[in-house]
Amino acid sequence: MRADPHAVRGARTLNEKVRSSFDDAVREIPDGATILLGGFGPGTPWNLIAALYRQGATGLTLVCNSASGGSAAQGRDDLIAHSTLITAGRVRKVIASFTAATHPSRPSPLEEMSASGAIEAELTPQGTLAERIRAGGAGIPAFYTPTGVGTEMAEGKEQRTFNGRADLLEEAITADYAFVRAWKADTFGNLIFRRAQRNYNPIMAMAARTTIAEIEEPLLAEGEIDPDQVHTSGIFVHSLIVIPAPPEGILHVLPGMPQLASIPPGRVGQ
């Protein structure tokens, strides 16, 4: 089920936005929900994904950049990622830009499950995926793009020509929930993202009926963030959870390294 982007968003009072735990924040997510998972490496809401796994919801539709969780999740048995939910049979459909393994000789669980009919996988070009989500948050039902013309991506889609160029009609994406990760936030839910966190998190926060954000830094009081520095307004955010220090919380993840409380010089955390 996809949310109506024009519907009145479920408001929370100031104290209700700040949740006591990740498990509390995802407790109400039902079976069959559609969930936007932010992150482009950095910005992945690892703690919320782990809480969703513990919560037990099934029949989910996941919308994300990579169905595996990215390079940081590869070979990590200690990290609950997108692929963990998929392998556990909790997902009925995935919409992503990367649905296949990087090595054709080693197919991913999603590829194997898709081939057997156990799960539906929808491959969407990266820029098209981002624009479908952005359009959903802006209340735009569909748009035309030349990406995918003349390929398998064009099958079953309306095609029109504008100024001599062929374009495909792509429908917007909205969702029941969005899991996002931000660097800083105030108690109203105004968010500041850091570096590559801004690739998907801001647009996903706008395209969901309910947005849940995990925050790296201690919460600031309402009004402490300069309005010019706000990337996502708190009107789009419904729940906030500050990430506790490891091992209780997953703060920074680097490929091939344990979970960290701080980022080594010269490295970018995820």
* Whole-number Cα distances in Å, 88 to 2, 55, 80: 23, 13, 11
State how far the Cα of 214 lies from the Cα of 87, in Å rounded to an integer. 24
pTM: 0.86
In the predicted model, is pLDDT for residue 155 greater than 60? yes
Stronger pLDDT, 25 or 254, i.e. the higher one: 25
Give residue limits of the domains in the chain: 15-143+171-242
In the predicted model, is pLDDT for residue 133 greater than 90? yes
| Mean pLDDT computed over 127-143 | 98
State how far the Cα of 35 lies from the Cα of 61, in Å rounded to an integer. 6
CATH top-level class for 15-143+171-242? Answer: alpha beta
In the predicted model, is pLDDT for residue 71 greater than 90? no
The pLDDT of residue 6: 33
pLDDT digits (tens, 9 = 90+) for 184-234: 999 999 999 999 899 999 999 999 999 999 999 999 999 999 999 999 999
Strands (E), 135-238: 142-145, 159-162, 165-171, 175-182, 184-185, 191-192, 208-215
The pLDDT of residue 111: 84
Residue 57: is it exposed, middle or buried by C-beta count within 10 angstroms (0-12/13-18/19+)? buried
CA triple 65-67-73, angle to 5 deg: 100
Which pLDDT band, with edges at 50, 70 and 90, does 9 fall under? very low
Give me the DSSP letters along 41-54. STT--HHHHHHHHH
Q: Where are the alpha helices (DSSP H) in the chain?
A: 14-17, 22-26, 46-55, 82-87, 109-116, 126-138, 201-206
In the predicted model, is pLDDT for residue 28 greater than 50? yes
Mean of per-residue pLDDT scores for the chain: 87
